[in-house]
Structure 1
Amino acid sequence: MGKYKMRVDLSVLDSLGINLYSNAAAVLSELVANAYDADATQVDIDWDRGDKVVVQDNGCGMSVKEMNERFLTVGYRKRDPKNEGNTSPTWGRQFMGRKGIGKLSVFSIANVVTVYSTKDGETHAFSIDVDDLREKIDKGEEYEPVDVTDVPSAYSTQGTVLELTSLRSKRMDLTINSLRKRLARRFDVLDQTPPTEGGFAIAINGNRINWVDRQELKNLQFIWEFGDDRLPASVLPKGIERFELPGVIDSSAGWKISGWFGTAKKPTDLTDDLEAGSLKNIIVLARKRPIQEGIIEKLDFSRVFGNYVTGQIEADFLDDNDLDDIATSDRQRLIEDDPRVQALQDFLRKAFVSAADTWSERRPKKEVPDVMDRYPKIREWVDGLDDYQKQYAETMVGTIASLDFEPGAEEQRTDLFRSGILAFARVGLRKATSDLDALSKVTAEDILPLLGKQAEYEAGLWVDILKSRVEAIEQFQHLANENEKERVLQEHLFDHLWLLDASWERAVGSDHMEQSLKRMAAGEFDLDQAGMNARDRIDIRYATTGGKHIIVELKRYNVKPDIDDLKVQGGKYAVALQKVLAAQGVEDPDIEVVFVLGKPPRVTAAVPQKDKDYIDWSLAMINGRIRQYDQLITNALAQYEEYLKASAQARQLDELLGSIEDSPKPGDGDADEHEAAS
C-alpha cells in the first residue's frame, strides 16, 4: 500500500476545485488562510507565472498521518470538536477554514501540486498530478499521490510548502503588483504585531504586503469607522475627515462589527486600478478573511453616494462555529435569507443613509478652494456678493465641482456652473435668504437636472429680467427726436408689454387673434374718420395675462385722433374680440383696449364736461385707456430703475460666464506640456 491516500469524487474535484475559482488571487487566499490556521507567523509566496508558484509558511507543519487526515481528506472539518476545535493551539487564532475544501482550489491554476511539510524535524512530501487523479477516479480506483523523497533543503524547515507547476496560463494572468494589491484587500492582517506575539505577515517575492498595497485608502476624502477600531492615521491621506459610527447590531445576540467604509473624490478613483481590480465595493470579512466579496449592491441603496464608496467590514458573527454555515463554497457570497445577513444589510443601509447626508453637506466645502483657484472669476464673483450670500454661493459652487463626469464630458460642469450662477443671481435679486438656503442645499442628485434647465434659467434671469429689459429701457434714455421715439417703441413695445403696465409681466400674445382683429379693422372701419391710412390703422396686438384680454393699438407719434373716433374704434375692437372668444366658449371676457399716442386726443364734440373728464368717460365706456410715448419712457425708467442699476452687475455676470467657458479644464495643462515636449 502507498504511503498517501486521496479520496475525492470527480464531480467534487471539478465543481469545488478546478471550476470554482477563476483567478490566482482567490486560490492563493485559500493557501494563506491555511498558513494562518497553522499558527504561521510568515507565509512567503514566490511568484513566477511562467514556471511555478511556491507558497511556504513557518507554521506547525504536518506528520504523514495529518497529511492524510487533514490535507488529503476533502471535507475535513477542522473546527469539529473531535478534530482541532475552534482556535489554533499556539496563538489562539480563530480558524479561518471551515469546509475543508479550500485545498482543492490549487487544481484550478496548476496541474501538478507538490506538498512538503516539516514537523518535529521530519519532512514528508507527496505530489499530485491532476490528470492521473482524474484517470483513477474514472476507473473507480483509489488515488495514491506520489511519495517524494528528494526534498530541497530550502523546503525542510518547520512548516509547509506547496509547489505549483504545470500552471494554467489563463488563470495566472496577474502581475506581482496586482497580486499584492488583491491579497492586501482579502485579509485583515496588515498590522505590525511582532512574530513573537503572534503577528502574521504575507510576503511576495520577499517583500511583505503592507498598507501601501491598499490602493483604495490613498484616494479617500471621508471615512466612517465602526466601533472602537481605528485605522492608523499614517495610512490615510492628509486632510481626510473621519467619522464614528456605532458597531453594535444586536447586543442581545452579541452581533457587532468593526471596520470602515469611505468615499473617494471621484468614482473613477475606485475603478481605474486595473491591477487591484474594482475597488468600488465593500468586502465583508469574518475571522479576518472574505466571506462576501461585495455587499453594496445588496443594500438597495440608490443615492449617488454609493458610487463613491469602498470599504472593509469585519463581522465575525457571520461565521460563528456554533451556528449554521452560511457562506457559499467559494466564500464570495452569503445565504441571503439568513437573519444574520438581513440584520447586517439593514444595519449598513441605515449607516449609509446617515453617512450620505453627512457627505452631501461636507463634500462641497472641500471642493471650494480648488474651484476658486481654477476659476478666478468665480472667486471674484463670490467675493463681490453680500456677506450673507457668500456661504450659500460657496456651497453651491462646491456641489457642482464635486460632481463626477465621464471622460470628455467636462463641459457639462461648465454648463452647470453657468446654470447655477444664473439661478443664484436670479434668487439673489430678491434678497430672499430662505431661497438662497434652499438653493445652496441641493445635493448632487438635485443639481444634475439643471443641465436640462439652462435655457430656462437663461430666459428667466438673463433675457427676461436683465438683458432684454435693460437693453430696451436704455434705448429710451437719450431719445429726443419724435420719429426716433416712434421707431423704438414700434420695435420694442409689443414684445415688452410690461412697458405699458408693470403687472403685465407674463403677457402672452396670439398671432391668430391679431390677424382676425386686423381683418376686421381693415374691412369695417371708416379710414377717413381718424385721418390715417390703412397701414397705420391696423398696427394692433392682442395678448392675455391674468385672465385679461388686451388689445393694443399703436398710433403714429404726430397724429392727434379725436376721442370719439377712438371710442368707436375701441368699441368695435372689443365687440369683435368678444365674438371670437364666444366662439371659443369664453363668456363675459374681461377686455381692455389700450391706445398708444404721441399726443393727447382731441375733443371736438360739444359737451358740457371738461375735456379730460369727457376723455375719461369715453374710455370708461369701452374699458379703455391711453398711454403716451413720453409717459411710457418716463414710467419705464422710474419703475425699472433697479434693473438699470443691475445692468452693471449683468455685464459683470456676462464676463464671469464667459470666463468659465474659457477656463482651462483639468488635464489641459498636461496636454499642452505633452505637445510642447513632442
Structure 2
Amino acid sequence: MTVDMSVLESLGINLYSNAAAVLSELVANAWDADATEVSISWKQNGETIVISDNGRGMTVDDLNSRFLKVGYKKRAIEGSSSPKWERPYMGRKGIGKLSVFSVANRVSVYSVTETSQSGLEIEVEALRRAITANVAYQPEEIDVPQEFQSGGTTIVLENLRSKRADLTANALRKRLARRFDVLDQRPASEGGFAILINGKRITYADRQELKKLEFIWEFGRRTLDDSVLPAGIERFVLANDVVDAANNWRIKGWIGTAKRPTDLTDDEDAGSLKNIIILARKRPIQEGIIEKLDFSRLFGNYVTGQIEADFLDLDDGYEDIATSDRQRLIEDDPRVTVLQRFLRERFLEASQQWADARPKKEAEDAIAKYPKVREWIDSRPGWQRPPAEKMIGTIAGLELEGDSARQNRMDLFRAGILAFERVGLRQVIEDLDSLGSLTAVDLLPVLASQETYEAALWVDILRSRVEAISKFKEITSNDEKEKVLQAHLFKNLWMLDASWERATQSKRMEEDLREIAPGVFSLDDAGKERTGRIDIRYATTGGKHIIVELKRYSVDIDISKLMEQGRKYAVALRDVLNKSGQLAYSELIEVVFVLGSKPKARDRGLMEENEYIKNQLASINGRYVLYDQLISNAKNQYSEYLDASDKAKSLDDLLASLDGDSVGG
C-alpha cells in the first residue's frame, strides 16, 4: 500500500475552508500541551500569522515522532489527559497539524522545552515533490529566533493563501470565541487558558450570539453569569440534562432565541449565528445540529446555542465518530441518535415556554412604546386581558418584511383590537390562546380579513361609513349620484337599511334577468322595452331576497311604471326560487326603488297620493328611497351614533392613533 499526494490534499490542503477552523486546531494543540496562554498575531492581508503558546514544548525527538508523524495517536500513546493540568486531550486523529497547509505555503515551527530548542521549516511545494517521488520529506532545520526562545511552541505561517486567510482580527476573535466557549476563565496559576488575538484576550464579550438573545434555556442548572448576557433577558432551566441514564451521559450548555431571525444572520465578521454548535472536550465536534432534529416549529428560526456533550468523544473502546474536519458526526452512531432524540424533546419543551413567554415580552415592549394600548388592555374584562396581551405581543413579534411591513403591522393591530371588541368574543379569545406560534400568514386570515373587519365591531365600521357617506355628499351632479351609488350600494347595502349587514349569498349588480327567467323584460325610462335586469340582488342572513332598482336622479316616473317593473322582477324571482326550493313564502322577497324624486300617482282616483303609493308598493312587498334622503339619513344615523358613544369615540381615537405610531417597527 502506498500513500498518494491526494491524501495530503484531502486531509490538509483541501480539508479546511477558512482560517478560523485551521487556527482552532493549533489552539487545541496548545491546550493539550498544558499551555495557559496561546497568542495569535493576525493582520488582515498580512504576510504572516504567528501562533505562540507557553506549553511544555517539544524536543527534536518529539517533533519527529509526534508532530511530523501524520496520524499520531496521542490518546493511545500518552493517555486521555494532559500531564500537568489533567485536561482531557482534544487531539485524537493526529491529522490536525495538516490544516496549516490549507492557509499557508510555508510553515515554520519553533519549540522550546526546559532543556532544548528546536526549529524546522516546511515548504508545501517541496513536500508535494517528495510525496510524488515517493521519498521521505526532510524539513529544513532552522534556529529559534530570540523572540521565540522563552518557552513553548510557536508556529509561523507565511506565504498565505489569501482567500482562506482573508479575515479581520475582529472576525477571528468572534469565530474562535464561539468555537471554544472561551475555554477556562480561571487564572493561569489554576490552569486557566487564555486565547489572545493581537494581545487582547478573547472573552464572553466576543460571543456575538449571546448579545442577540431575548430568551435562554440552560441545561441542568444556570452556568452563565448574568454579566455576559443582555439586560432584561428571560432565563429558563431545562431540568433534564441526562441523555442516557444507563451510561450516565449528560450534557451542559444552553440554547437561546433572538428577537428576530435576522439578528442571527447579520454579523458579517462572526458569520451566521443561526446554528447550535455541539462541543466535546471543549471544542466543536458538530457545527449545526438543529437541521438533524426534524424540528419544523417557528421556534427553530430564532434559535442558536452551544451544547457540551463529552460522551460523543469517549476513549476506552468507543469508536471515533467525528469526521476529519471535526465539523460533523457519523450520524448512525447510537450516541448521535440518542442525543438527537433527547434534544428534540428539550426543543419541544423550550418552544412551548417560548410560545407562552414571547408574546408577553413583545407586548411589554409594544405597550411601552404605545401607552394607549395599555389603557385599552386595562379596560378589558379580567378574563380578556391575558389573551389580549398575548395577541398584542404576537403581532409585535411577527417577522414582517418589505417596505409595507410597518403598515401591515398597524393593520394587524387594528384588526386584533377590533376582534376583541366584537360582541360574543369569548370563543375568539379562547382561540387566540393558540396564536403564540403563528406566522403572519396564519394570523392574517384570523384577524385581518375583510370578513373579520365587517364582523368585528361597529366602531371602525361606523367611522369608515361616515367617511364614505361624506364623500357621496360632495358629488354635485345629480345624475352622477346614481352612478356613484350604483357602484357603492353593491358593496354597502347598509346605506339602504342598517340591518342589512352580512350576506350568506353573493351580491350581483345588474344581473341579466334572462338568467333568472327567460322572456321577462322591463321598460327603460323612455318606456321602451329592454333586456330585463335587476340592478342588485341580495340575500340577507335571514334568507330574504332584496331586489334594488336604481333610477336616474332626474327621471320623473309614475308609480304604475315602477309597479310594472317591480312585479315582473318579483314574480320571476319567486318562480325561480320556488323551483329551486329556496322560497317558501312570498314575503321573503323585497323590492326597493332608489329614486331622485317621489313617484307620481296620476291614476289614483280619489285616494290620497301617499296612501295610494304605499298600497301599491305593499302588493309587491316594496318601498322606495330617495337619493338625497338616503345620504342624509345614513350620515345622520351613523354620525349621531358615533358622537353619542363615549366608548366608540375612545376606541376610534385608539385606532386612529395607530396610523401614526411605530409599534413593532
Q: Are 2:131 and 1:137 aligned?
A: yes
Give the structure 2 partner of residue 435 of structure 1. Answer: 428
Q: Are 2:160 and 1:167 aligned?
A: yes
Q: Secondary structure at the match of 2:331?
A: coil
The question of whether the paired residues in 1 share the 8 Å contact of 2:414 and 2:658 is answered with no
Residues in 1 aligned to 2:468 and 2:176: alpha-carbon distance in whole angstroms: 70
Number of equivalent positions: 635
Pick the aligned partner of 1:50 from 21, 46, 62: 46
Q: Secondary structure at the match of 1:443?
A: helix
Q: Secondary structure at the match of 2:257?
A: strand
Q: How big is each residue's C-alpha offset from its partner over 1:50-87, in whole Å with a ceiling of 9 and x where there is no partner? A: 2222212122222222211111110011111xx11111
The question of whether the paired residues in 1 share the 8 Å contact of 2:37 and 2:193 is answered with yes
Q: Are 2:92 and 1:77 aligned?
A: no
The question of whether the paired residues in 1 share the 8 Å contact of 2:12 and 2:99 is answered with yes
Q: How big is each residue's C-alpha offset from its partner over 1:551-596, in whole Å with a ceiling of 9 and x where there is no partner? A: 567999x99989xx999997755542345457xx724743435578
Q: Are 2:346 and 1:351 aligned?
A: yes
Task: In structure 2, give the amino acid aligned to 1:153.
Answer: Q
Q: Are 2:208 and 1:215 aligned?
A: yes
Q: Are 2:438 and 1:445 aligned?
A: yes
Q: Are 2:185 and 1:192 aligned?
A: yes
Give the structure 2 partner of residue 481 of structure 1. Answer: none
Q: Are 2:85 and 1:91 aligned?
A: yes
Residues in 2 aligned to 1:154 and 1:378: alpha-carbon distance in whole angstroms: 66
Identity of aligned residues (%): 52
Q: Describe the shift of the 1:396–1:62 C-alpha distance in structure 2 as closer, same or farther (beyond 3 A).
A: same
1:470 positional shift? 6.3
Give the structure 1 partner of residue 32 of structure 2. Answer: 37
1:121 positional shift? 2.1
Give the structure 2 partner of residue 479 of structure 1. Answer: none
Give the structure 1 partner of residue 477 of structure 2. Answer: none
Pick the aligned partner of 2:62 from 61, 66, 69: 66
Residues in 1 aligned to 2:233 and 2:460: alpha-carbon distance in whole angstroms: 44
Pick the aligned partner of 2:396 from 398, 401, 406: 401
More off after superposition, 165-174 vs 465-474: 465-474
Residues in 2 aligned to 1:495 and 1:16: alpha-carbon distance in whole angstroms: 72
The question of whether the paired residues in 2 share the 8 Å contact of 1:189 and 1:288 is answered with no
Residues in 1 aligned to 2:442 and 2:181: alpha-carbon distance in whole angstroms: 42
1:193 positional shift? 1.2
Task: In structure 1, give the amino acid aligned to 2:660.
Answer: D
The question of whether the paired residues in 2 share the 8 Å contact of 1:377 and 1:660 is answered with no
TM-score, length of structure 2 as denominator length:
0.80
Pick the aligned partner of 1:114 from 86, 103, 108: 108
Q: Are 2:363 and 1:365 aligned?
A: no
Residues in 2 aligned to 1:11 and 1:540: alpha-carbon distance in whole angstroms: 83
The question of whether the paired residues in 2 share the 8 Å contact of 1:223 and 1:262 is answered with yes
Give the structure 2 partner of residue 341 of structure 1. Answer: 336
Long gaps (5+) in structure 2:
472-481, 606-610
Residues in 1 aligned to 2:96 and 2:359: alpha-carbon distance in whole angstroms: 46
Residues in 2 aligned to 1:191 and 1:425: alpha-carbon distance in whole angstroms: 55
1:145 positional shift? 1.2
1:134 positional shift? 1.1
Q: How big is each residue's C-alpha offset from its partner over 1:452-481, in whole Å with a ceiling of 9 and x where there is no partner? A: 774614444579953466679999xxxxxx
Residues in 1 aligned to 2:569 and 2:168: alpha-carbon distance in whole angstroms: 86
Q: Describe the shift of the 1:560–1:300 C-alpha distance in structure 2 as closer, same or farther (beyond 3 A).
A: same
1:550 positional shift? 4.5
1:44 positional shift? 1.5
Q: Describe the shift of the 1:90–1:460 C-alpha distance in structure 2 as closer, same or farther (beyond 3 A).
A: same
Give the structure 2 partner of residue 522 of structure 1. Answer: 522
Q: Secondary structure at the match of 2:319?
A: coil
Give the structure 2 partner of residue 284 of structure 1. Answer: 278
Residues in 1 aligned to 2:307 and 2:434: alpha-carbon distance in whole angstroms: 31
Alignment of 1:464-543 (within 5 A): 465-467=461-463, 502=499, 505-506=502-503, 508-511=506-509, 513=511, 515-516=513-514, 520=520, 522=522, 542-543=537-538
1:449 positional shift? 4.2
Q: How big is each residue's C-alpha offset from its partner over 1:164-205, in whole Å with a ceiling of 9 and x where there is no partner? A: 222222221111111111111111344421222221111122
Task: In structure 2, give the amino acid aligned to 1:216.
Answer: E
Residues in 2 aligned to 1:581 and 1:411: alpha-carbon distance in whole angstroms: 46
Q: How big is each residue's C-alpha offset from its partner over 1:219-243, in whole Å with a ceiling of 9 and x where there is no partner? A: 2111100123511111111111110
TM-score, length of structure 1 as denominator length:
0.79
Q: Describe the shift of the 1:544–1:84 C-alpha distance in structure 2 as closer, same or farther (beyond 3 A).
A: same
Q: Are 2:230 and 1:232 aligned?
A: no
1:323 positional shift? 1.1
Q: Secondary structure at the match of 1:98?
A: coil
1:250 positional shift? 1.0
The question of whether the paired residues in 2 share the 8 Å contact of 1:283 and 1:292 is answered with yes
1:273 positional shift? 1.5
More off after superposition, 185-194 vs 239-248: 185-194
Q: Describe the shift of the 1:43–1:405 C-alpha distance in structure 2 as closer, same or farther (beyond 3 A).
A: same
The question of whether the paired residues in 2 share the 8 Å contact of 1:500 and 1:627 is answered with no
Q: Describe the shift of the 1:644–1:596 C-alpha distance in structure 2 as closer, same or farther (beyond 3 A).
A: farther
Q: How big is each residue's C-alpha offset from its partner over 1:613-656, in whole Å with a ceiling of 9 and x where there is no partner? A: xx99x999x89577999x999x9999999965787655655554
Q: Are 2:306 and 1:312 aligned?
A: yes
More off after superposition, 352-361 vs 376-385: 376-385
Give the structure 1 partner of residue 293 of structure 2. Answer: 299
Residues in 2 aligned to 1:588 and 1:422: alpha-carbon distance in whole angstroms: 35
Residues in 2 aligned to 1:455 and 1:202: alpha-carbon distance in whole angstroms: 56
More off after superposition, 209-218 vs 418-427: 418-427
Pick the aligned partner of 1:24 from 14, 19, 26: 19
Residues in 2 aligned to 1:137 and 1:348: alpha-carbon distance in whole angstroms: 45
Q: How big is each residue's C-alpha offset from its partner over 1:126-156, in whole Å with a ceiling of 9 and x where there is no partner? A: 21111111111111111111122x2223322
Task: In structure 2, give the amino acid aligned to 1:330.
Answer: D
Task: In structure 2, give the amino acid aligned to 1:290.
Answer: P
Q: Describe the shift of the 1:37–1:52 C-alpha distance in structure 2 as closer, same or farther (beyond 3 A).
A: same
Pick the aligned partner of 1:157 from 135, 150, 155: 150
Pick the aligned partner of 2:407 from 414, 417, 429: 414
Give the structure 1 partner of residue 265 of structure 2. Answer: 271
1:41 positional shift? 1.3
The question of whether the paired residues in 1 share the 8 Å contact of 2:459 and 2:642 is answered with no
Task: In structure 1, give the amino acid aligned to 2:58.
Answer: M
Task: In structure 2, give the amino acid aligned to 1:438.
Answer: D
Long gaps (5+) in structure 1:
1-6, 476-485, 528-532, 606-611, 668-678
1:661 positional shift? 3.5
Q: How big is each residue's C-alpha offset from its partner over 1:479-499, in whole Å with a ceiling of 9 and x where there is no partner? A: xxxxxxx99999998866666
Residues in 2 aligned to 1:102 and 1:283: alpha-carbon distance in whole angstroms: 19
Q: Secondary structure at the match of 1:192?
A: coil
Q: Describe the shift of the 1:471–1:666 C-alpha distance in structure 2 as closer, same or farther (beyond 3 A).
A: closer
Residues in 1 aligned to 2:534 and 2:193: alpha-carbon distance in whole angstroms: 93
Please report the RMSD computed on the Cα atoms of aligned residues, expressed in angstroms: 4.8
